Structure 1
Amino acid sequence: MNPKLAEFLAGCRDEAPLQLGVIPFGMIYGIAALAAGMPAWLAQAASAVLFAGASQLVIVQMLSAGAGLLPMALTASLLNVRHVLYSMSVAEYVRHLPRRWRLLLAYLLTDEAYAVAILRYQQTARPAPVHDSTGPATTSDPASAFSAPATAGEAAPDLRHWYFLGCGFTLWACWQLSTAAGIVFGATLPPEWDIDFAVPLTFIALLTMLTRERAGRAAALMAGLAALALAALPYKLGLVAAIVAGLFAGVWAAHRKPTRDEKP
C-alpha cells in the first residue's frame, strides 16, 4: 500500500472511535440552530466554514437568548483560545511543510483531531537513517513503518502529516453528516431521547487522552476547580474564567521545572 495512503487510513481508523460522541454533538447543534431561527442552509454552511463545534453550539444558544453580536463574538473567541495552544504544540512537527499543507491542517485542527494526532507525533519520532554498506539506509525506529523507504544517506520522509489529515478529515466528514442529520431528522426525535449527554462525554474522553503530561493535568485541574467555584456568575462567565485559568495553569506547568521526586 502507498505509505501516504496507509498513514491517512491509520489516522481515520484511530479517530473513528471518538465519533461516537461527535455524532450526537453535531445533531444537537443542527437541532439548536433550527430552533434559534437559522435557515437550514446557513446552519450547514456554518459547520463547513467555521468547523468549531463548541463555539457553534454556544453561538446558537446565545442567539436564541437574544444576545448581541459583541458578547457572542467575545465568547466564541475565548472558547477558541485553546486552539492557539494546539497550534503552538504541533508547530514544531509541521513547520517543514508547505504553506498549503499548514493551512489545511490548521483548518482541521480541532479538539478531537489534535488529541489523536499529537499522540502520534509524540510517540513516533521522525526516523533517522542508519547507514548500511550492504544496501540502502534503514531506520533505527521500528515504529517507522509509516515512512517510505529511504535511499542511502537520506532521512526517511516524514509522512505523519498524512495521519493528521486522516484524523481531521474523519472528524470533519462526521461533523458535516451529523449536522445534516440534526437538521433533517431532529424534529422527529422523541423528546425522551436526551442526547445532550454527548457534549460532556466527548470532552471527558479527550481529557483522558490529554492529561498524561504535567501541563495537561494542571490545566484540567485548575479549569475544573474554577468552573465549580465560579458557577454562580451570570451569563456563564464562570466557564469563560475557567478557560482562562486553565490556560494560565497549563502554561505555568509547562515552563516549570520538575523537582527531583516529581514525575514530568
Structure 2
Amino acid sequence: MRLPSRLGEFLAGCRDESPLLLGVAPFGMIYGIAALAAGVPAWIAQLASAVVFAGAAQLVIVQMLAAGAGFVPIALTSGLLNLRHMLYSASMAEYVRHLPRRWRLLLAYVLTDEAYAVAVLRYQRRDAPPADAPDYRHWYFLGAGFTLWVGWQLSTAVGLVFGATIPPEWELDFAVPLTFIALLTLLLRERAGQAAAVVAGAGALLFAALPYKLGLVAAILLGLVAGAWTVHRLERAR
C-alpha cells in the first residue's frame, strides 16, 4: 500500500473541498454586496474576510450595521453564532493535539464549517496510516481550509467589485441556506453532529414563540451542549 505524502494529502484536501465552493461563492458575493450596502468601505470588507474568515458572522454583522444596531447587540449576536466552533474544536482536538503549536494555531484559523465537514471525515476514515508510519492528515485539513479561504476571498472580491451589476432576479440569497443544508448532510454522519442536530431542531420548535428570535439562540446553545456532551461521552468510552 502506498503511504500518503504531505503534498498528496494537501492536494486531496483541496480536491474534496472544491465542490463546496459552489455554495460558498454566492455566499461570499452576498457578503460583499451587503457590506457595501451597509456603508462598509470595500477594503475593510475584504480585510474582514481575510482576518475574521467567518462567513455567517460577517454577513450578520453587516446586516445589523445596515439596520443601525449598536456594538453590544452585534457583538453578542456574532459571538453566539460562532459558538458552534467550540463543538468543532472539541471534535477535532483529539486528532491534532499531538501537533506543534504553530500547526494547531494555523488549523484553528481555517476551522470553519465547510473545512470541518470535510476534514473530520478524513480523520474518521478507516484507512488511517499505520502506527509506525507518519501521519500527514493535518496536511489534508490544511488543504481543505486553504481552498475554502481562497474561495472566500475571491467571492468577496467579486461581490465588492461587481455587486452593483448583478441582476436582482438572480436571488443569490438562496446560497446561504443551501450551503448549510449541504454541510448538515455531511455532519450527520457522526454521532456528535446527529445529537446536536436533533436537540437543536427540537429546541427551535419548542422555543419558536420566544420574541426577538431568541428561540434560535436557545436552540443553538442546546445543540452545542448536546454535541459537546456526546463528544465527551465517546471519548470516555474509548
User: After TM superposition, is the score higher than 0.5?
Assistant: yes
What TM-score, normalized by structure 1, do the two folds share? Answer: 0.83
Pairing partner for 1:179 from 156, 180, 193: 156
Query: Is 2:238 the partner of 1:236?
Result: no
| Cα distance in 2 for residues equivalent to 1:2 and 1:212 | 24
- Equivalences for 1:42-81 in 2 at 5 Å? 42-81=44-83
Is 2:91–2:231's contact at 8 Å kept on the other side of the alignment? no
| Cα distance in 2 for residues equivalent to 1:68 and 1:47 | 21
What TM-score, normalized by structure 2, do the two folds share? Answer: 0.91
Cα 1:5–1:256 change in 2 (3 A) is closer
Indicate the larger mover: 85-94 or 103-112: 85-94
User: What count of residue pairs does the alignment treat as equivalent?
Assistant: 232
Cα deviation 1:59-111 (Å, max 9, x = unaligned): 11111111111111111111111111111111111111111111110000000
Query: Is 2:133 the partner of 1:156?
Result: yes
Query: Is 2:199 the partner of 1:222?
Result: yes
Deviation at 1:3, TM superposition (A): 1.5
| Cα distance in 2 for residues equivalent to 1:23 and 1:206 | 15
Q: What's the counterpart of residue 225 of structure 2?
A: 248
| Cα distance in 2 for residues equivalent to 1:92 and 1:254 | 10
Deviation at 1:214, TM superposition (A): 3.1
| Cα distance in 2 for residues equivalent to 1:250 and 1:43 | 32
| Cα distance in 1 for residues equivalent to 2:63 and 2:100 | 38
Q: What's the counterpart of residue 137 of structure 1?
A: none
Moved over 3 A (4+): 228-235, 251-257
Cα 1:177–1:236 change in 2 (3 A) is same
Deviation at 1:229, TM superposition (A): 4.0
Deviation at 1:251, TM superposition (A): 3.4
In the alignment, structure 2 segments of 5+ residues that lack a partner are none
Q: What's the counterpart of residue 3 of structure 1?
A: 5
Q: What's the counterpart of residue 36 of structure 2?
A: 34
| Cα distance in 2 for residues equivalent to 1:75 and 1:44 | 21
Cα 1:182–1:250 change in 2 (3 A) is same
Cα 1:235–1:36 change in 2 (3 A) is farther
Pairing partner for 2:26 from 17, 21, 24: 24
Q: What's the counterpart of residue 93 of structure 2?
A: 91
Deviation at 1:176, TM superposition (A): 0.3
1:236 counterpart letter in structure 2 = K
RMSD: 1.9
Is 2:61–2:78's contact at 8 Å kept on the other side of the alignment? yes
Is 2:24–2:175's contact at 8 Å kept on the other side of the alignment? yes
Q: What's the counterpart of residue 145 of structure 2?
A: 168
Cα 1:248–1:221 change in 2 (3 A) is same
Q: What's the counterpart of residue 113 of structure 2?
A: 111
Structure label with greater radius of gyration: 1
SS in 1 for 2:170: coil
Cα 1:121–1:29 change in 2 (3 A) is same
